[in-house]
Amino acid sequence: MNAPFDIATAKLHSQVDHDERGNFEYIGDLQQPGLSLSALTSQVQSHLEGLILGGKFSVCGEVFAAVRKIIVEILDAPGDLTDPEARRLFEVMVRDQIERFGFTRSNILQDTMSCSFYKIRIGRPYWAALAKRKSVANAVEPTLSLAAFKRRLQPGDVLTLVAAPAGHRALGSARKVVAVRSSDLILEGPSYLSFPRATAFACDGRRVRIGIGNERDPDAHLLYEWSRPA
């Protein structure tokens, strides 16, 4: 990982402390006031992926009540983030780099804050990628892409859940597909199954594997048998 910039002349967000009166002030060296939300998200993503070797990120923006929010989802990282301390340190490092594009002014004694609004989360694609680097159970050869699966899946098809994390209430159940939508599908019940990112999906034309990993079980997944009525 390359050094982001000279910390002797510009401190990172996590290196700035409150003063004796409770004031905290940080202005990022990469901040560009007036930059559009789309341009800002593009710059943040390019900066993170250029700085963190092996890192992949999805950066999007939201606007609500005249407030802008930037959401950074970690899709892959060079290390194993199952360890809580390693995960915390990585998230602090990522936040420090994001904060270089923003500002924070606050006073903890007066309970006031004015800041850029950033949110960081580790996405399921990261846990799927980590599991692949280690070992996966119920591996499925990805011969059918997620986009092709969406096109071929039809109402009336049957998905039988044959493997899932322990205690899953639908394990063993066979449900017909009621409708296929862009982001999810509706099963009998009714119940809904959200489509994952392509990196957490695998299908060989008969079995469908959807990664739902997390820090406790990176390889957690749902495995379905896909069939059609005769």
CA atoms within 13 A on the CB side of 138: 20
Q: Which residues of the chain have pLDDT under 50?
A: 1-8
pLDDT of 128: 92
Angle at 121 between CA 87 and CA 55, to 5 degrees: 65
pLDDT of 1: 43
Amino acid at residue number 140: V
Which residues are bridge partners to 69 per DSSP?
62, 117
Domain chopping of the chain, boundaries: 13-122, 131-227
pLDDT of 7: 41
And the tokens for 5?
A: 């910039």
Query: What is the C-alpha separation between 127 and 215, in angstroms, rounded?
Result: 7
Query: What is the C-alpha separation between 28 and 14, in angstroms, rounded?
Result: 12
CA atoms within 13 A on the CB side of 10: 14
How do residues 120-174 score in pLDDT, each as one tens digit?
A: 999 999 999 999 998 889 999 999 999 999 999 999 999 999 999 988 988 999 9
pLDDT of 4: 45
Local structure of residue 13 (DSSP, 8 states): G
pLDDT of 9: 53
Scanning 52-193, the segments in alpha helix (DSSP H) are: 84-99, 124-134, 146-152
pLDDT of 8: 44
pLDDT of 2: 43
Which pTM value belongs to this model?
0.82
